[in-house]
A and B are shown apart, each in its own frame.
Chain A
């Protein structure tokens, strides 16, 4: 089971080629749709400025983006032990769980998972330092409860384009 995560992680960070592959994914009962949104400041009529999430049509370095996974059980059986494993693209720096989303488990090396405070990064000269958000290479969510038929949910994390 676990090795299959690794192989798909390697593919997904490569560029457009995967776009062609994506529709060919087997229509299993669990449907997962990825979205990338960008934070845009919008001026409201009352003069205040609000931050809205809009599709990532205009993204320049330094912009905050939100990576979102929407999942739905389209089958007739409940689905258990759901794990969503999302590699963080190389040009993206992880920041935080998005508003309204469960906090993902993080990893910097693909082996140890947990909150950021529990992770560290090996230094080239030996020893370790505490991991920072920018060190995160993958995030994953493990759903605690089975997903009933027709049920859906949404998970997201916030990041910055380097």
Chain B
């Protein structure tokens, strides 16, 4: 398979998997340059072409003489209406797969839609998960994302903002303007999950009303009467998935681009270290000793040495040592303090009963009196991050 030069001409910076010959197929590139006759159009940005609906009319003025007497007249006026040449590109606007973790919510693949039409218009968006892309993307699709949704980048910052980028279609995209489109999905908690492919399907739709989702455009049938002096719809978009014919054909007013999610990291280097510090013994104020009645703080320090991947839902359990008594309400979770000085800085005080209804910070803890086990659910430990949990006992 040879590389199609089309994609690199128009979207050289958007290319995915640059080392693969198939890479060019990922970017959906519209009609430009596909036919030799269209070369003049390649260099003209859509915004500089004549807008659809413009009336072009022509009248010549004529002068002549009849037996030496000068006369003037005008020709009749011929006119036509410039039609809508629907063209756009859909490309994958990220490099490689989106790296995800099992059970991750709202994982994003990013695409970009550029309007090359001689007029402003809407674009309808939908995402699907084709299973027949073997050879197009690296690897093999073996799971499906859950709850796949698609949103336009409403605030145009190139980043998916949940709750802000809520528009499910592209509204009023001007000629030559482009906008990012996010396909958002949840990763299932499936141990075998490795790669899920997804595809953004874009359909050109009628513009003209801000905030209104236009109807999909239909190419004007030129066999119909009265096609003169109206704005016809002419599709000029290319086959965006090339020779594979997976979901798009040329001049259909639709386009596709492909991307995917990869569960890359399945484990993180999570370590826990435990230390003890005598807080008070009731006798010595300066250097308290481990004597009966002394209060001891145990410190559990969790470290995620994998810098790129967070560990989620980290739970710590620790059995209180024999001959000690757990101090009720002493569990605290927070940022690790200076070693030997403080275990937790600005730690939360956790309710240590089994009922977590009153817990509001997302972190929970409990003490099981039967097994003498302290449990601290410290939540997510960011890639390269640390979290500490402490509790206190008294020596019997």
Chain B residues with CB below 8 A from A84, complex form: 60-62, 75
Q: Quick check: is B180 within 8 A (CB to CB) of the other chain?
A: no
How many residues of B are in contact with the other chain, CB < 8 A? 47
The winner among B40, B56, B60, B81 for most chain A CB atoms within 10 A is B60
Q: Quick check: is B65 within 8 A (CB to CB) of the other chain?
A: yes
A160 to B40, CA, bound (A): 10
Q: Quick check: is A61 within 8 A (CB to CB) of the other chain?
A: yes
Binds A, one of B42-50, B95-103, B154-162, B388-396: B42-50
Q: Which of A55, A61, A85 contacts B49 (CB 8 A)?
A: A61
| Structural contact, B80 and A89, CB atoms closer than 8 A | no
Q: Which of B49, B55, B74, B227 contacts A62 (CB 8 A)?
A: B49
| Structural contact, B73 and A28, CB atoms closer than 8 A | yes
Given contacts A12-B77, A25-B73, contact A60 B60 (CB under 8 A): no
Within 8 A of B (CB), among A8-52: 8-9, 11-13, 15-16, 18-19, 21-23, 25-26, 28-30, 32-36, 38, 41
A135 to B355, CA, bound (A): 82
A9 to B396, CA, bound (A): 108
CB nearest to A25 among chain B residues? B74
Chain B residues with CB below 8 A from A18, complex form: 57, 59, 77
| Structural contact, B80 and A34, CB atoms closer than 8 A | no
| Structural contact, A30 and B62, CB atoms closer than 8 A | yes
Given contacts A1-B70, A62-B44, A62-B49, contact A32 B60 (CB under 8 A): yes
| Structural contact, B38 and A62, CB atoms closer than 8 A | yes
Q: Quick check: is B112 within 8 A (CB to CB) of the other chain?
A: no
| Structural contact, A89 and B65, CB atoms closer than 8 A | no
Given contacts A58-B83, A160-B40, contact A19 B71 (CB under 8 A): no
Name 28 A/B residue pairs within 8 A (Cβ), A-sorted. Answer: A5-B61, A9-B61, A11-B59, A16-B55, A16-B79, A26-B73, A28-B73, A29-B66, A32-B75, A33-B75, A33-B76, A36-B80, A56-B228, A57-B222, A58-B83, A58-B220, A59-B80, A60-B82, A60-B83, A61-B82, A61-B118, A65-B80, A81-B64, A82-B64, A84-B62, A86-B58, A87-B58, A87-B59
Apart from A60-B52, A75-B66, A162-B50, 6 more pairs, CB < 8 Å: A1-B70, A13-B57, A16-B79, A32-B73, A65-B80, A91-B50
Using a CB–CB distance below 8 Å, which chain B residues touch chain A? 37-38, 40-41, 44, 48-50, 52, 54-67, 70-85, 118, 220, 222, 227-228, 232, 234, 236
